[in-house]
A and B are shown apart, each in its own frame.
Chain A
Amino acid sequence: MSTLWAFLAGLVFGIGLILSGMTDPGKVIGFLDVAGVWDPSLAFVMLGAILVSFSAFMWAERRTRSLLGGAMHLPQKRDIDARLIAGSIVFGIGWGLAGFCPGPALVSFGSGQDKAAVFVAAMLIGMLVYAVAERTRRASTSA
């Protein structure tokens, strides 16, 4: 049951991304191009999304179980460290280069764009590099 709901959440998320314009890298780059001819549309995407999810999280934070009865898995870390900032800067550089972030890239891959497929493949390799590096780091610190 929860798997079906996860699918539906992904579907609604994807439709939202398409409708909003986030799956068009040209539009994303137009938003990031503040020094050029600026398209502020994506600020409205964030505004709309936060308007709804803010109240959902207010409700969710007070719950100990989900509405389906499962455990809540909300991130609890609040500290700002070098990994967070350096990682986010590297992500921002990649985002600015191609105009794709993970969600819209997957949706564009789903619509059969070969360029999105290349981006997604490289992104998965990047995540694999991290997973391997982390395992090596943990193995060396625990040894």
Chain B
Amino acid sequence: MTIDWAHFTPWTSLAGGLLIGVAVAMFVLLNGRVAGISGIVGGLVKGLISPRSGEIGWRFAFIGGLLIAPALMRLLGTSVVPRIDASFPTLVAAGLAVGIGTSYGSGCTSGHGVCGISRLSPRSLAATAAFMLAGMATVFLWRSLA
């Protein structure tokens, strides 16, 4: 194993992680909910088919906050240049897999990886192990093919 020292950012990553933790804490203590992004978005999509009252506003509000975040960061002078190497067909396949997989698996990196692990949920520990290993295997195979 070789460490990528050029891209390794332990302090900003830790700081960003602490902020994510603050957001999770705010959301569970004030709104009484788990900040799982796939669940929040999935609930809106499910609402298209079987609408339920009281389930729309807070979901749009949370997602609105996520969407506004880059603009606020830009005002503060931080612009992010993401490296998106995936082609458009790959992005479509990946998006479908993430949408279907997080729905059947009841969560993603935030819901299982942060909230569930913090609650010591065996379900979330198993789910996190499964998506981490699958992600690592995918990158390994993808790199070998390329």
A residues sitting closer than 8 Å to B (CB atoms) are 2-27, 29-30, 32-42, 44-57, 59-61, 63, 65-68, 70-75, 77-80, 83-103, 105-113, 115-116, 118-132, 135
Main secondary structure of the interface of A (DSSP, over half): helix
Residues of A within 8 A of B10 (CB): 40-41, 44
Report the tally of A-B residue pairs with Cβ distances under 8 A: 506
CA distance A84 to B20 in the complex (A): 24
**Shortest beta-carbon distance, A108 to chain B, in Å?**
6
| B53 interface residue (CB < 8 Å to A) | no
Closest B-chain residue to A94, C-beta based? B97
Task: Note all chain B residues with C-beta closer than 8 A to A44.
Answer: 10, 13-14, 17
**Can you report 11 A-B residue pairs in the complex whose CB atoms are below 8 A from each other?**
A2-B31, A27-B83, A48-B17, A56-B28, A57-B118, A60-B29, A96-B135, A98-B86, A98-B95, A103-B108, A130-B42
Q: List the A side residues contacting B30 at CB < 8 Å.
A: 2, 5, 9, 66-68
Q: A85's closest neighbor in chain B, by CB? A: B130
Q: Are A61 and B119 in contact (CB under 8 A)?
A: yes
Point out the residues of chain B lying under 8 angstroms from A120, CB to CB: 95
Distance to closest chain A CB from B32 (angstroms): 4
Binary per-residue interface labels of chain B (27-58) against chain A in the complex, 1 for a CB within 8 Å, 0 otherwise:
11111111101100110011011100000011
Q: Across the interface, do A87 and B32 meet the contact criterion of CB distance under 8 Å?
A: no
